[in-house]
Amino acid sequence: MAVAKLEKTLYSPFSSADGLYPDTFTKEELAQLQELASEILDENEWLAPLIPELIIRESIRWYAQLFIGELIKQIPNKKDKIDLEDFQNVADNYQIIYNLNGAKWFAEAFAETCLEELLQYFPEIQSLGEAKIKISPVRVTTSSGKMTFNKDAQFKIWNSGIVDGKHVISLDDIGDRGTTQQAIREKLLADGARSITTVNMVEKIVPEDIDEEHQKKYSPDIALLKAAYYFLLGWGLDDGKRDATREFKTIAILNSKSK
């Protein structure tokens, strides 16, 4: 993907400009959400669906097509039929990482969709590994909006050897201040990454009048979907204490009945 840091975040064509989405949920989807919510949430909490699963998956497909298309463009002397070996030579220069635990859902759906795209060119392959596309987990958390990664970011799972000299794609589930992806960017630069593309599944629209601690510090290169500034659950997003809330098939707003 991009060698240099993009000046402006690129969003999928399925993203809403204001971070709000039309109510296109089926009765079945709403019933499933209500059933799960009743099992998981406290009495003073409620959920409202925000982003339908179809929009999430179509946005992931858009990025998978963008990514695979970029690799194919780099194949020299492209013929009518692309050779798998030529594709492998290009793909071998890339490394995809994803930040556990929330981005695991994003990464798995992205990997499945990339394989679907590749099967159009190479029907003989059965996995991304056969195409030399590598996806590995990392675990990074940030504790403040400060910039220095070695003080304020914790790298609990990290293998510098896999990113040295590679074009690295960093997948994360959600961004608000942007400090986690910025910390990853700094660490990747220090570990010899050839280029870095940061990609968030969801990017929150942070209000301009918010307190300084919660202001947006950095923006990703690519974000699939904008979201209004709510506390969000579902599609891998949790509330920090209940992993089961990741299982919602939509991205939903969490709030309290007292508000």
Place of tokens 């497909």: 61
Please state the φ and ψ torsions of residue 54, each to the nearest 5 degrees.
-60, -45
pLDDT above 60: residue 258: no
- Helices and strands (DSSP H and E) totals, the chain: 6, 10
pLDDT above 50: residue 168: yes
pLDDT category at 212 given cuts 50, 70, 90 is: confident
Task: Please answer whether residues 87 and 72 qualify as being in contact, where contact means their C-beta atoms are separated by less than 8 angstroms.
Answer: yes
What does pTM read for this prediction?
0.90
State both tokens at 24.
């296109």
pLDDT above 80: residue 148: no
pLDDT at 145: 43
For residue 160, the tally of other CB atoms under 10 A from its CB is 13
- Pick the closest to residue 34 from 24, 45, 23, 19 (CA basis): 45
Q: What's the pLDDT tens digit per position in 102-131?
A: 899 999 999 999 999 999 999 999 999 999
Q: Which CATH class is domain 53-230?
A: alpha beta
Pure H helices in 44-131 = 53-73, 84-91, 103-119
pLDDT at 164: 97
Average pLDDT for 60-84: 91
> How far is Cα 36 from Cα 248, in angstroms, rounded to an integer?
7
CA angle 35, 37, 40 (to 5 degrees): 115
pLDDT above 60: residue 62: yes
The rounded mean pLDDT for the chain is 89
Q: What is the DSSP letter of 236?
A: T
pLDDT: which is higher, 100 or 13: 13
